[in-house]
Amino acid sequence: MILNKNFSFLLWGQSIANIGDVLYMVSVISSIYMLTGSAAASAFVPFTITTTMFISSLLTPLMVGKVNLKWLLTGSQIGKTILLFILGFLLMVTTASNYYVIFLLIGLIAFLDGCANPIRQTLIPHYVKPDQLMQANGTAETVTQAIQAAMWFAGSLFLIVVSAQQLVWFVGALFIISSFLLCQLESVKHTTTASKGKFEQIKAGWVTLSSTPVLKRIAWIDFLETIAGTVWIAAILYAFVSDALHVDEKWWGFINGAFFLGLIAGSVYCMKYAAVMERRLGSLIFTGSLLSAIVTLLFSLNSFPIVSLLLSLCVGLFGQIKNIPQQSVIQTSVPKEQLSTVYTSLGAIGTGIFGVGSLVMGLMADLLGIRVVFAISGILLAAVSIVVFRSKHLFVKSK
């Protein structure tokens, strides 16, 4: 564990916020379904969040350089806290005839989240030494994935004993604690962009991506991986369990859980062997992407539920063994002052492509069959491994 005050405040502040984010999502989806009785209306919640985060990723560079990174992160969390309490009061008076107002609050909260995510990743190399980056990224990913794995299950249990509105108040308390912890962070140096025009600020990250060879490759990797990853959304995975494995819905939960366990195992592996992995970043990124492609293709062909559990775990494991070294490459590929705009641009690629890719993969699953879309996912990941192999010499820590 990294003994660093600022990293600890960042890790715990964001972790508590992440717990709140999942519980808040559970409560909102439940509230909308209870108000409308419509699964489509509930499904519009993640679509609203993804779309708004995409817009936020495009506009965040306007704030970077004008607002201290520490206060940009903290301010977004405080803003989320205020909006969440407004949402709590709104749930008291909302009816089936005006439930759409909830989506406005969801969108505003997601907008602030879209700002916070790239700033958190940018701050890590400010708060830890270069030789601790792999361990720091592994620690952050381990905690994040453990929260994701546990909180969706815990959220459902919470709703058995408390109402959705009461759960929102609880999340509000978590957000207050998170805001307090983030306020304790030390400020970091940042470069002012006041002299630049708005368009120059917005395009700064895209210019850096296009002019830095390794980041250009990573942008393409993120593009392909994001499309490939859409097959793991709830609706498509549920259809695979039902139509390809011919088992009941509990296996959807098992396979989803195995995937998160794989992510956690990959994060722990990266933490434990950080020193060794630092010297083999390119090889690990290639190996992780190639093995992810192979096990995804095997998953598409498999008909045995138990084997699907093992393959799902491996997809998470190998994906994380690739992703964490890749984060270290990104964080050292450009000066720290440029990282925030790089991450906002990569975030825009991820959120924008995910929204469109989920829709396309869903349509293809209906037209071509559920196994075919998982096979396509494996092929896309194989393309990623080719990109990495051809550019393996670029995937090193630059400083």
Q: Which residue, of 155, 182, 209, is where some domain finishes?
A: 182
Which carries the bigger pLDDT value, residue 92 or residue 262? 262
User: Which pLDDT does position 43 carry in this prediction?
Assistant: 62
pLDDT at position 252 over 80: no
Q: Which residue, of 182, 211, 226, is where some domain finishes?
A: 182
36, 126: one domain:
yes
In the DSSP assignment, the letter for residue 187 is P
385, 277: one domain:
yes
User: Which pLDDT does position 198 carry in this prediction?
Assistant: 62
Q: Residue range 133-144: average pLDDT?
A: 82
Q: How many residues does the chain have?
A: 399
247, 161: one domain:
no
214, 103: one domain:
no
User: Which pLDDT does position 121 carry in this prediction?
Assistant: 80
pLDDT digits (tens, 9 = 90+) for 5-34: 888 999 999 999 989 988 888 788 778 877
Helix axes 5-36, 69-93, angle to 10 degrees: 20
158, 14: one domain:
yes
Tokens of residue 95, six digits: 């009816």
User: Which pLDDT does position 156 carry in this prediction?
Assistant: 67
Q: Residue range 27-52: average pLDDT?
A: 75
- Express as a percent the part of the chain with pLDDT over 70: 91
User: Which pLDDT does position 184 carry in this prediction?
Assistant: 92
Residue 54 to residue 51: CA distance in whole angstroms: 5
User: Which pLDDT does position 152 carry in this prediction?
Assistant: 67
243, 102: one domain:
no
Residue 375 to residue 302: CA distance in whole angstroms: 11
Q: Which residue, of 147, 182, 217, is where some domain finishes?
A: 182
139, 274: one domain:
no
CB burial class (10 A; 0-12, 13-18, 19+) of residue 246? exposed
Residue 319 to residue 99: CA distance in whole angstroms: 38
pLDDT digits (tens, 9 = 90+) for 207-232: 888 888 889 999 999 999 999 998 88
Domain that holds residue 51: 1-182
Question: Out of 80-84, 189-193, 314-318, 319-323, which region has the weakest mean confidence (pLDDT)?
Answer: 189-193
In the DSSP assignment, the letter for residue 131 is G
Q: Residue range 74-94: average pLDDT?
A: 88
pLDDT digits (tens, 9 = 90+) for 338-378: 887 888 888 888 888 887 887 788 888 888 988 999 999 99
User: Which pLDDT does position 109 carry in this prediction?
Assistant: 92
68, 200: one domain:
no
In the DSSP assignment, the letter for residue 98 is S
Tokens of residue 211, six digits: 């002019």
Q: pTM for this one?
A: 0.76
Please provide the average confidence, as pLDDT, over all residues in the chain. Answer: 84
Q: How many domains does the chain have?
A: 2
pLDDT at position 3 over 60: no
139, 225: one domain:
no
pLDDT at position 195 over 60: no
User: Which pLDDT does position 382 carry in this prediction?
Assistant: 96
341, 392: one domain:
yes
CATH of the domain at 385: 1.20.1250.20
Tokens of residue 241, six digits: 């369990």
